Amino acid sequence: MALNNAPLASLCAVVSVLGLGAGMSGRAALLGMSAVALIVLLSAIALRAPGRPSGIVLAAVAAWGAVFCALLALGFRLHDPAGPLVVVGGFPVGTAMLIYGTTPLGIFLGVLYGLAFDRLILPQDRQREFLRRFGTQ
């Protein structure tokens, strides 16, 4: 079964144009959201596999993107340079979102890759079959 990633690739192009527009017009929050959307789309392109159910993993990546965007939005909302200093875990509250929120959240994609590796990313039977047909070394 062949895999058609054209819709996701086309979405990457659309999001890239959106990101360019956001950047050129100085809209940082929109640029940040575009970056997260692009990461989600690229991950989805890489994680989809023909003949293997990848729905749960793709939903997890999409959820990751949504939470990441929410944390970015919180960062924009919570940082108030004119207001009093509110410290969370040693950092101002907006910065704490970066240090304790987005950073550990990023680790989730590495965990997901490890968990999905045997069943979705590279099942041993697929690897053996491919190397049996084409392996030279």
Partner 1 sequence: MPTADSQLILACVVVYLASCAVVGFWAMRRTSSTVDFFLAGKSLGPLVVVMATISSVMSGFGFVGGPGLVYESGTSSLWMVFVASFSLPVAFMLTGKRLRLLVEVRPILTLPEAVAARYGGSGPAIAMSVAIVLGVLGYLGTQVLAIGTVLQAVLGIDLLAALAVGLGVLAFYAIAGGIVAGVYTDLFQGLLMLGAAVAVLAQCLKVGGGMSAITETLWAMDPDYIGPWGTRGDLAAMSWMLLFGIGAAGQPHAITKLMMLKDIRQLKWSALATGLSYLVLAMLWMGIGLAMRTLVARGDHPALENPDLAAPTFLLHYTPELLAGIVFAGLLAAIMSTADSFLNLGAAAVVRDIPLALRGKPLEHELMWSRIATGSLLLLSALFALYMENLIALLGTFGWGTFAAAIVPSICIGMNWKRATGTACVASIATSIALNFVLEVAARHGHQLLPPGLAVGAVALLASTSVFVWVSLLTPKRELAPDMDALLDV
Contacts with partner 1 in 23-62 (CB under 8 A)?
Answer: 23-26, 28-29, 31-32, 34-35, 38-39, 42-43, 45-47, 49-50
* Main-chain phi, psi angles of 129, to 5 degrees: -65, -45
* Least separation in angstroms between CB 66 and partner 1: 14
Q: Which is nearer to partner 1, 55 or 134 (CB)?
A: 134
Q: Name which of 55 and 137 has its Cβ closer to partner 1.
A: 137
Q: Give every CB contact of residue 99 below 8 A, 6+ residues apart in sequence.
A: 89, 91
**Burial class of residue 107, CB neighbours in 10 A (0-12, 13-18, 19+):** exposed
Q: Residue 48 and residue 38: Cα distance in Å, rounded? A: 15
Q: Binding marks (x or -) toward partner 1, 99..128, rule CB under 8 A?
A: x--xxxxxxxxxx-xx--xx--xx-x-xx-
